[in-house]
Chains A and B, each alone.
Chain A
Amino acid sequence: MASALQSITLRRLAIATVVVMGAGYALAFLYAPEDADQGFIQKIFYLHVPLAMVALLGFIVAGIHAIRHLRTGDPKHDARSYVSIHISVIFGAGVLLTGAIWAKGSWGVWWEWREPTLVSFLIVFLLYATYYPLRYAIEDRERQARYASVFAITAGAFVPLNFLAVRLAQPLVHPRTFSSAGGLPDSMLLAFLVCLAGMALLWATLVWFELDAKAASANLSRIRRRLEATT
């Protein structure tokens, strides 16, 4: 019953994702005007910025699940933390790739080492890339989950600090989104917010999907062990 309910919810979530993302990118390309400064290339903004925001929020969500895991010892929170980090790392790779393409088109270079926004995001991405070797270097499952939770909390706390430090730093070429100096026009803001909602829904759908697949795999292993033990 519970799994049937879950699959219905996952299906609804997936449908909502497709609808909201479709609407968001239709608005971005058909409704929002071209940027006066950058022109058509600014359309990458509707993909790159929501990806970055959702990836960073995902790392914080992983940290919250990790706190829950340490407090309750319930492995389901560890699984949620792990999957949140996994999907956020994939989104992070997307941020770096789309950002590099945008940089090449706008600034003429794929990467700019003097730009704090770029380098700080790369540091966060590489930090989370070490999560996997750390986790799988430990054989004992309980210890593995505990250490992974401690990592997720520490790194999760680093994310907002890093974000704050970047906002305070002097930008070189990377624009500051939603800075006090000149916000987005209403039509661009609407398209951006719908794209952001779509990206958040996509993240939630992928997390849910992967958690379901993990639960199915764990249940199968349990049934196999039970069947083999009684043979």
Chain B
Amino acid sequence: MIPLAIENADRYVGGAYLVFLLLLLIYVAIMAAKLSRIQRELGSLAELAERRSGETPPRGVGSVRGRDQEIEAVRQGGR
């Protein structure tokens, strides 16, 4: 049996809780970096989509209005 060496208990307790907080902080920092990458990618995709909608005529693919017009045209036998 190893003899108990209880000394500076508050230092060890503080250290243990600090290590746990540090681990959580590192995880949160990594996740924040991932989320900022997703945000950047979302921005670049929005740019790409805007550029494409500028290139195409007003009845753009995927736009709600464009899709409504397509449905209406099919309904009236215009296509």
Q: Which residues from chain A sit less than 8 Å from chain B, CB to CB? A: 38-41, 43-44, 47-48, 51, 90, 93-94, 97-98, 101-102, 104-109, 112, 172-173, 206, 209-210, 213, 216-217, 220, 223-224, 227, 230-231
Contacts and interface: CB of A to CB of B under 8 A. Distances in A.
B23 A94 contact: yes
B41 interface: yes
B3 interface: yes
Query: Which 5 pairs, one residue from A and one from B, show the smallest C-beta to C-beta distance?
Result: A108-B5, A105-B12, A41-B9, A40-B9, A98-B16
Interface of B: 1-13, 15-17, 19-20, 23, 27, 31, 34-35, 38, 41-42, 45, 48-49, 52, 61
Contacts of A93: 23
Nearest to A25: B17
B12 to A, nearest CB: 3
A64 B5 CA distance: 42
14 contacts: A41-B6, A44-B16, A93-B23, A94-B23, A101-B16, A101-B19, A105-B5, A105-B8, A107-B3, A172-B1, A224-B48, A227-B45, A227-B48, A227-B49
Contact of A106 (B5, B34, B41): B5
Most buried by A among B1, B3, B10, B17: B17
A107 B4 CA distance: 5
A201 to B, nearest CB: 13
Most buried by B among A101, A104, A209, A210: A101
Contacts of A44: 12-13, 16-17
Contacts of A41: 6, 9, 12-13
A40 B15 CA distance: 13
A128 to B, nearest CB: 16
